[in-house]
């Protein structure tokens, strides 16, 4: 098997992540619940992971890193915790359904105005359109850092400037960028960054969360057990407890903590991103001239992620992906990738795209095999 679906999840993880999860499963208790050694050990593991995430994202307060099951849960917490009834929100057509669907519900049920900035022919965010939509003022701007369809990366510094000029808070979906594109909340001017642990960070599934700038008031969305202030009728207001109702996935966070250590040892997001871009670029260049191949995205964009999405002649993307898997053992992702608006913008809503997403553990040999397979499909 050659695994080229890293934008969905990192199947090939560092061994230290596997070891950390296995050890945690037999040793860690429930963090923040009691004073047993198992509970205290779990609390230490969770706090150390918070500190590492804060360092990775340039968040000044480790206690403002709040863990969740994934980026979807974190985005829901951020959106529902920040967007008030009747608010004006500007987002983009590059967004994942983790952003679009919560906003659609708020538009339907809470009178929230939602407008979507467009893209150019290569799927690059139209910053002039974003500025135009924000010109009359906005309460929130929600923007994906990197598209899970094209691999294009947004200029967060520019997006931040546009958002703040309009009086809006900026929420960033870093699902595709955390771990492979450098992020610094302070220098980029980011208010909230939502992330997941199982993609570029190479951690376990069931891990993720958000980091909030000091002074940003994300109201509790889910409420429940907190381990403290049990007689209070409401969720405690203190960070990070306000956004962490219920038992945390300490076992998964032990793995994520180990993944963050590994990421630091190999050179951090800059090193990972450079390798993934180089591999993706070599693949794109190799298949560019094949008959019937259509490539999507700005493949020459500096700092983009390791995604190459394409179509072959008039074949449906699911058919191409199935052939790659069944006949060649190459795993890709076809379809709409839970991002319908970018497919509509690029004219691929009917057949989708075949997404090749390269990760840290992929090799030039994987590129050669994928190129040969695609050549056979295209020529036949």
Q: The CATH number of the domain where 99 resides is what?
A: 3.40.640.10
CA atoms within 13 A on the CB side of 280: 35
Pairwise CA distance, residues 308 & 284, whole Å: 7
Residue where a domain terminates, one of 240, 265, 290: 265
Residues 153 and 276 in one domain: no
Q: Is the pLDDT of residue 10 over 80?
A: yes
pLDDT in tens, 171-206: 999 999 999 999 999 999 999 999 999 999 999 999
To the nearest whole number, what is the mean pLDDT of the chain? Answer: 97
pLDDT score of 277: 98
pLDDT score of 128: 98
Residues 82 and 183 in one domain: yes
Q: Quote the number of domains for the chain.
A: 2
pLDDT score of 231: 85
Q: In what order do the strands lie in the sheet with 307-312?
A: 293-296, 307-312, 354-357
Q: Alpha helix locations (H) across 60-96?
A: 71-82
pLDDT score of 295: 98
Residues 6+ apart with CB under 8 A from 144: 92, 94, 95, 96, 99, 154, 172, 173, 175, 176
Residues 192 and 283 in one domain: no
Pairwise CA distance, residues 90 & 213, whole Å: 20
pLDDT score of 212: 98
Pairwise CA distance, residues 354 & 342, whole Å: 14
Residues 161 and 300 in one domain: no
Residues 275 and 257 in one domain: no
Residues 253 and 205 in one domain: yes
| Residue 204: DSSP 8-state | -
| Residue at token pair 């969770």 | 46
Residues 188 and 215 in one domain: yes
Residue where a domain terminates, one of 265, 294, 316: 265
pLDDT score of 66: 98
Residues 85 and 204 in one domain: yes
Measured in degrees and rounded to the nearest 5, phi and psi for residue 331 equal: -95, 120
Residues 146 and 221 in one domain: yes
| Residue at token pair 């994520």 | 256
Beta strands in the chain, from DSSP E residues, in sequence order? 2-3, 65-68, 88-92, 113-117, 140-144, 169-173, 192-196, 208-212, 293-296, 307-312, 330-331, 354-357
Q: Which pLDDT band, with edges at 50, 70 and 90, does 235 fall under? A: confident
Structure tokens at 236: 């405690």
Residues 197 and 323 in one domain: no
Mean pLDDT of 292-313: 97
Q: Which pLDDT band, with edges at 50, 70 and 90, does 35 fall under? A: confident
Residue where a domain terminates, one of 265, 282, 304: 265
pLDDT in tens, 65-103: 999 999 999 999 999 999 999 999 999 999 999 999 999
Residues 159 and 66 in one domain: yes
pLDDT score of 302: 94
pLDDT score of 226: 73
Residue 325 belongs to domain with CATH number: 3.90.1150.10
Q: Are 51 and 64 in contact (CB under 8 A)?
A: no
Q: Provide the residue range defining the domain that includes 294.
A: 2-10+269-379
Pairwise CA distance, residues 172 & 190, whole Å: 7
pLDDT score of 262: 98
pLDDT score of 230: 82
Measured in degrees and rounded to the nearest 5, phi and psi for residue 312 equal: -120, 115
pLDDT score of 223: 83
Q: Is the pLDDT of residue 222 over 90?
A: no
Q: Which pLDDT band, with edges at 50, 70 and 90, does 301 fall under? A: very high
Residues 226 and 300 in one domain: no
pLDDT score of 233: 86
First-to-last CA distance in the chain?
23
């Amino acid at each position: 098997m050659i695994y080229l679906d890293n934008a969905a999840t990192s199947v090939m993880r560092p061994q230290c992540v596997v070891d950390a999860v296995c050890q945690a499963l037999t040793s860690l208790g429930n963090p923040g619940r009691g004073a047993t050694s198992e509970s205290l050990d779990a609390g230490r593991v969770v706090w150390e992971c918070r500190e590492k995430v804060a360092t990775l994202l340039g968040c000044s307060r480790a206690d403002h890193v709040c863990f969740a099951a994934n980026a979807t849960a974190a985005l829901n917490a951020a959106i529902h915790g920040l967007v008030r009834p009747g608010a004006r929100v500007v987002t983009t057509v590059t967004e994942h359904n983790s952003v679009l669907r919560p906003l659609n519900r708020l538009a339907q049920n809470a009178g929230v105005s939602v407008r979507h900035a467009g893209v150019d022919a290569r799927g690059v965010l139209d910053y002039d359109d974003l500025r135009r939509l924000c010109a009359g003022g906005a309460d929130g701007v929600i923007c994906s850092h990197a598209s899970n369809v094209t691999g294009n990366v947004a200029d967060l510094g520019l997006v931040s400037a546009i958002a703040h000029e309009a009086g809006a808070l900026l929420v960033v979906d870093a699902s595709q960028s955390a771990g492979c594109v450098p992020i610094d909340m302070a220098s980029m001017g980011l208010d909230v960054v939502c992330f997941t642990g199982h993609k570029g960070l190479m951690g376990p599934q069931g891990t993720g969360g958000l980091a909030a700038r000091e002074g940003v008031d994300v109201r509790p969305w889910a409420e429940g057990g907190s381990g403290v202030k049990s007689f209070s009728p409401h969720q405690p207001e203190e960070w990070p407890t306000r956004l962490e109702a219920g038992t945390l996935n300490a076992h998964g966070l032990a793995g994520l903590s180990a993944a963050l250590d590994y990421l630091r040892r190999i050179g951090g997001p800059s090193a990972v991103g450079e390798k993934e871009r180089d591999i993706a670029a070599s693949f794109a260049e190799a298949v560019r001239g094949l008959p019937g191949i259509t490539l999507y995205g700005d493949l020459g964009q500096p700092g983009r992620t390791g995604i190459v999405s394409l179509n072959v002649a008039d074949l449906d993307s699911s058919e191409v992906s199935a052939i790659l898997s069944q006949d060649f053992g190459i795993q890709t992702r076809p379809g709409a990738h839970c991002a319908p608006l970018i497919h509509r913008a690029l004219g691929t809503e009917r057949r989708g795209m075949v997404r090749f997403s390269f990760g840290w553990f992929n090799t030039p040999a994987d590129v050669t095999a994928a190129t040969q397979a695609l050549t056979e499909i295209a020529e036949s």
